Amino acid sequence: MRAKLKIQGPALATVAIAALITGMMAAPVVANVTDKDVLNDQSTTGDVVSNGLGPRGQRYSPLKQVNTETVKSLSPKWAFSFGGEKQRGQESQPVVKDGVMYVTSSYSRIYAIDVRTGEELWQYDARLPDGIMPCCDVVNRGAALYDDLVIFGTLDAKLVALDIKTGKPRWKKTLGDYQAGYSYTAAPLIVKGMVVTGVSGGEFGIVGKVEARNAKNGELVWMRPTVEGHMGFLNGKENGITGGKANKTWPGDMWKNGGAATWLGGTYDPDTDRIFIGTGNPAPWNSHLRPGDNLYSTSRLAIDPDTGKIDWHFQTTPHDGWDYDGVNELISFDYTENGKTVKAAATADRNGFFYVLNRTNGKFIRGFPFVKNITWAKGLDKNGAPIFDPSNRPGDPKKMKKGESVFAVPSFLGGKNWMPMGYSQQTGLFYVPSNEWGMEIWNEPTAYKKGAAYLGAGFTIKPIFDDHIGALKAIDPKTGKVVWEYENPAPLWGGVLATAGNLVFMGNPEGYLMAFNAKTGEIEYKFNTGSGVVSSPITWEQDGEQFVTVVSGWGGAVPLWGGEVAKLVKNLNQGGSVWTFKLPK
């Protein structure tokens, strides 16, 4: 049996420490997590120490004990409940080190769990103030491990580092003013001993930025804003603006509250020594108020981790008028063409197009639609810029209360939203959780006010097919071909995991954890977790056995913003639990 000791921490968070009684299995011994551990995460099978199973974010594991032949016998080992009434959306990807799992949950909570038994070792609840303004549910997407710390962000825009053994706070830093709309929901990224973070809050007219801090003590190393005109910092000193004069690509003073939030976090490519991070929509949504490209909104940025300098950028939706953002993960991968290795990176954008870039310089290699019936653009030009269809931009309201509405595909929730895709080194395919939907959208007059929504638009989301919204697609990045597709009735809102067992794991809002044949798309396994899955599965090896874990708990942006789609999923039950599976011995 276990004994629990309640400790009142400085943040009034309760930390529960579990101790094993004599005669039972010894508690896991926690070793420090090093930069080498993070860099090798994809190839080391005994742990998962980073979001994305490695800094490149490929979400691929070389494990194959669970494969297309054995997966049918996959069974639950244990389930852990987050408990309480704070359920809502559970979008966390757990991390695992030395027999302990660290998993975040809604309302900025985090738990340490013994992976052998599913028992809680400690719990930390952030003390959130009144008046937080999370845009799209009270979610948290995961933690980072470094040294003897577990680091995660909170809804009031704090970054908290906890002792990995006890859950006691070691340092805490503020990322932004929550009363102005700043928040933080992403999983931090570890690069060269630094913890790299973005910020959320683009719908409130905040200014996006990327920060790098010493992971051991939280001290700021550099800060890079993502809107022209704002000052960056290096080693505590101002080091110039973000690459252009104020209002160079913004009219008047619109840059001062320009959005471009970095709310999904980033990836890191050791080959080029660059951080890849995406930026959100320019503010406000009403694009008629801010003619121009509005840099660096809706872009992928390559940032020098030593200085915070933007090495290159690629903008997917210049002058965004549909809230398509550009935050989706940019995943590094190599492929061979004409006998030469191409150092590429790929992203599936909210705007419905899939892009392949040269990751050494950001040059466009190819792009193609990955969802159907796109209306806002007629295609991409030779440089990857969208060919706009002027008739499908929401109308200018001018002095009217409402401008002319248009039906745009995809909806602002995107052909793919936050839910990360995966890349299989075995098949060479990307597995993209996507959605087929559109929206009625119109513009309205608006003005910036601190702490208030800064949209200038209205919308209603609608399905475009009768039988499905969600679609998991296996895409060949060299040709744009959809090799196979699985259609799901409800929208997909969780990430994927590819393995060398020729499997792709994904959950759906109907509650199932599913395993697909990576080559054919055939469903090899499914298990109902009791609530919708909007998280990203992981796999690792413990005591010679392969484990698979997924967090279950319906929520996220769809039931909050989904219009007619939200009505279709209103009967889905909320939850909050961690399910861990393995094969029988």
**Catalytic residue set:** 323
Number of neighbouring beta carbons within 10 Å of residue 329: 28
Cis amide prior to 491 (ω within 30 degrees):
no
Q: Which residues contact 226 (CB under 8 A, 6 or more apart)?
A: 207, 208, 209, 210, 242, 260, 261, 262, 279, 296, 297, 299, 301
* Rounded CA separation 74/514 (Å): 11
Is the CB of residue 103 less than 8 Å from the CB of residue 145? Answer: no
Q: Which residues contact 551 (CB under 8 A, 6 or more apart)?
A: 90, 91, 92, 93, 94, 103, 105, 533, 535, 577, 578, 579
> Measured between alpha carbons, how far apart are the two ends of the chain, in Å?
24
Is the CB of residue 48 less than 8 Å from the CB of residue 540? Answer: yes
The first and second tokens of residue 157, run together, are 């825009």
* Rounded CA separation 161/349 (Å): 32
Phi, psi of 528 (to 5 degrees): -90, 120
The secondary structure of 466-534 as a DSSP string is SS-SEEEEEE-TTT--EEEEEEESSPP-S-EEEETTTEEEEE-TTSEEEEEETTT--EEEEEE-SS---
Is the CB of residue 377 less than 8 Å from the CB of residue 384? Answer: no
Q: Three-state DSSP class for 287?
A: helix
* Rounded CA separation 584/579 (Å): 16
Is the CB of residue 62 less than 8 Å from the CB of residue 45? Answer: yes
Q: Sign of the CA dihedral 246, 257, 232, 323?
A: negative
Q: Which amino acid is at 188?
A: P
SS3 content of the chain, % helix, strand, coil (to 5): 5, 40, 55
Is the CB of residue 371 less than 8 Å from the CB of residue 414? Answer: no
Q: Sign of the CA dihedral 348, 190, 211, 309?
A: negative
Cis amide prior to 251 (ω within 30 degrees):
no
